[in-house]
Chain A
């Protein structure tokens, strides 16, 4: 720098009276500048040397978060430090909470803060860097999202068993998409697959991944997409950072379609993994979880088919043997056998009935005979008549001898005779005859009249003989048919008589005699 820019103070040449500071200290030809001028000059020089934004890495110390929303701290490394100011508008966009000790990268402008003549770095953007810083940011974001419920297992949606189409968000280059394609083809070629390519690391990747997820979800119905895979192959912690950003987590959470996240390797867990409906260790694993194994399903269906066929075959042959068994039974071989047995039973019963009742009635009659005769002999009427006759004799005799007293005695005797008459056991005989009536009714019920009541009818020819065979009929013949409640007279029609085959002997019904 040229020497004449500096002003030297020479006490010998000073003149305190009425001169300006400039003039006072200015030796001949040397100019002194103000502090403002100096700082203005420094600013200009700085702007020339560092016209654009600078990107600086360092560690935060003396961090202060002012109530105004502005952040003030120092960014340092081993031997140097610079003051940093991050204003509210920029600070609000931070994706992590800065604190002392965190190593960061700051993009901003250097300038001089004239008020104190201080060099400042005005931060536009700040991101954590290095393992520790990334992990801190990860933990901070996890805490925040967890408290909002984004990691809640209850919020996870089920993956459909047989998806019609799969939507994929991943890079169009790289191993992930190839692995996914190979796996889908191997396991379930029936499903369609759509991919929306996206950056998966670096600047802007997080935003693009988030937008892609949202877009595929919005178009899911149009393409029958039943599940979305978000995938990225393996990489370092820095490489996977896009999947640790809040915007990606929110896009996955808000998607209505279930999302499977398969990022990195087995041991990598990102925020996207934690929000997703299903976490897969790798892109291949994500594809395996998205679709079933066609071979397995095919074998299952074959098994179902075999079971069904076997069961129906078994049912049919069981039915066949039942049928055969039934066909062999007496009922089908000789159906008339049962009828024959019944007819015989009826015949026997009716014979027995008649016999038994006949005997009973005959027996009852006999039993009643003796007593009846004796009773008849003892008939009070007879006794009474005899007694009355004698009484009358006595009366007359008495009346002759005793006069009126004899008559009243005779009257009293007559009275007794009357009482005797009244107490005869007539009612007991009436009862016996009632019993006989009942027996007769029973007999009647077994007689042909009751059988008629069941719908059988009795047909007689004009001679009154019972018609049992069609052989004794001829067209024009008058026949009388007795039904349960009366008789019907009819004439055999000219179309003649339908003869049945002559039945084998023993089968003719003998219900009536």
Chain B
């Protein structure tokens, strides 16, 4: 299943859909178990996305060659004295 290509929002919407279908009672038992399996996979995917480590802010700078292009230019330096919440 191509859920990795699915955006986080789409995955979350699909999970909500599955839960709603199962809770409705309109789905036969065997199908509800299939949907459950799909739901679990999507939940794991979302948890992985949420668990992503914090990233550093990337600097951008105007490219030399083209007028509208921006190039990556390293990371924003961390301030050691920064007050972390």
In the bound complex, residues from chain B placing their C-beta under 8 Å from that of A316 are 29, 33
Q: In the complex the two chains form, is B61's CB within 8 Å of A196's CB?
A: yes
Q: Which of B39, B61, B84 has the most CB of A within 10 A?
A: B39
In the bound complex, residues from chain A placing their C-beta under 8 Å from that of B22 are 308, 311-312, 315
Q: In the complex the two chains form, is A308's CB within 8 Å of B57's CB?
A: no
- Distance A189 CA – B54 CA, assembled complex (angstroms): 4
Known contacts: A215-B68, A311-B22. The answer to whether A161 contacts B9 by CB under 8 A is yes
Q: In the complex the two chains form, is B57's CB within 8 Å of A312's CB?
A: no
Q: In the complex the two chains form, is A181's CB within 8 Å of B57's CB?
A: yes
Q: In the complex, how many angstroms separate the beta carbon of B61 from the nearest chain A beta carbon?
A: 7
In the bound complex, residues from chain A placing their C-beta under 8 Å from that of B33 are 312, 316
Report if A301 contacts B (CB, 8 A): yes
Count A-B pairs with CB separation below 8 Å: 112
Q: In the complex the two chains form, is B50's CB within 8 Å of A298's CB?
A: yes
In the bound complex, residues from chain A placing their C-beta under 8 Å from that of B32 are 311-312, 315
Q: In the complex the two chains form, is B68's CB within 8 Å of A218's CB?
A: yes
Q: In the complex the two chains form, is A301's CB within 8 Å of B55's CB?
A: no
- Distance A297 CA – B46 CA, assembled complex (angstroms): 10
- Distance A191 CA – B53 CA, assembled complex (angstroms): 10
- Distance A319 CA – B28 CA, assembled complex (angstroms): 11
Q: In the complex the two chains form, is A172's CB within 8 Å of B76's CB?
A: yes
Q: In the complex, how many angstroms separate the beta carbon of A10 from the nearest chain B beta carbon?
A: 75
- Distance A178 CA – B80 CA, assembled complex (angstroms): 11
- Distance A232 CA – B63 CA, assembled complex (angstroms): 25
Interface size on A, residues (CB 8 A): 43
Interface size on B, residues (CB 8 A): 41
- Distance A207 CA – B84 CA, assembled complex (angstroms): 33
- Distance A309 CA – B43 CA, assembled complex (angstroms): 12
Report if A117 contacts B (CB, 8 A): no
In the bound complex, residues from chain A placing their C-beta under 8 Å from that of B15 are 301, 304, 308
- Distance A161 CA – B49 CA, assembled complex (angstroms): 14
Report if A193 contacts B (CB, 8 A): yes
Report if A195 contacts B (CB, 8 A): yes
Q: In the complex the two chains form, is A195's CB within 8 Å of B46's CB?
A: no
Question: Which residue in chain B gives the minimum CB-CB distance to A168?
Answer: B57
- Distance A77 CA – B23 CA, assembled complex (angstroms): 79
Which one, B7, B43, B54, B59, contacts A197 given CB within 8 A? B59
In the bound complex, residues from chain B placing their C-beta under 8 Å from that of A363 are none
In the bound complex, residues from chain A placing their C-beta under 8 Å from that of B83 are 182
- Distance A195 CA – B39 CA, assembled complex (angstroms): 36
Q: In the complex the two chains form, is B79's CB within 8 Å of A178's CB?
A: yes
Q: In the complex the two chains form, is A216's CB within 8 Å of B70's CB?
A: yes
Chain B 33-64, CB-CB to A under 8 Å as 1, else 0, gives: 10010011001001101101111011111100
Q: In the complex the two chains form, is A182's CB within 8 Å of B84's CB?
A: yes
Chain A 295-327, CB-CB to B under 8 Å as 1, else 0, gives: 001100100110111011001100100000000
Q: In the complex the two chains form, is B40's CB within 8 Å of A305's CB?
A: yes
In the bound complex, residues from chain B placing their C-beta under 8 Å from that of A319 are 29
- Distance A186 CA – B84 CA, assembled complex (angstroms): 9
- Distance A297 CA – B51 CA, assembled complex (angstroms): 11
Question: Which residue in chain A gives the minimum CB-CB distance to B25?
Answer: A315
Which one, B50, B69, B85, contacts A297 given CB within 8 A? B50
In the bound complex, residues from chain B placing their C-beta under 8 Å from that of A218 are 68-70
Q: In the complex the two chains form, is A307's CB within 8 Å of B19's CB?
A: yes
- Distance A294 CA – B19 CA, assembled complex (angstroms): 21
Report if A219 contacts B (CB, 8 A): yes
Known contacts: A160-B9, A162-B9, A316-B29. The answer to whether A215 contacts B40 by CB under 8 A is no
Known contacts: A160-B9, A215-B62, A218-B68. The answer to whether A301 contacts B43 by CB under 8 A is yes
In the bound complex, residues from chain A placing their C-beta under 8 Å from that of B16 are 304
- Distance A167 CA – B59 CA, assembled complex (angstroms): 10
- Distance A184 CA – B56 CA, assembled complex (angstroms): 10
8 A Cβ contacts from A458-509 to B: none
- Distance A204 CA – B9 CA, assembled complex (angstroms): 40
- Distance A311 CA – B18 CA, assembled complex (angstroms): 11
In the bound complex, residues from chain A placing their C-beta under 8 Å from that of B76 are 172, 177, 181, 195
Q: In the complex, how many angstroms separate the beta carbon of A122 from the nearest chain B beta carbon?
A: 36
Report if A337 contacts B (CB, 8 A): no
In the bound complex, residues from chain B placing their C-beta under 8 Å from that of A9 are none
Chain A 213-228, CB-CB to B under 8 Å as 1, else 0, gives: 0011011001100000
In the bound complex, residues from chain B placing their C-beta under 8 Å from that of A168 are 57
Report if B65 contacts A (CB, 8 A): no
In the bound complex, residues from chain B placing their C-beta under 8 Å from that of A301 are 12, 15, 43, 46-47, 50
Q: Could you name 9 residue pairs across A and B whose Cβ atoms are closer than 8 Å?
A: A177-B76, A178-B82, A181-B57, A182-B83, A195-B58, A222-B70, A301-B47, A315-B29, A319-B29
Given contacts A162-B12, A301-B46, 12 further A-B contacts (CB under 8 A): A160-B9, A162-B7, A178-B79, A190-B49, A192-B58, A193-B57, A219-B60, A301-B12, A301-B47, A307-B23, A312-B32, A315-B32
8 closest pairs, A vs B, by CB? A189-B54, A219-B70, A162-B8, A218-B68, A193-B57, A190-B52, A185-B54, A196-B60
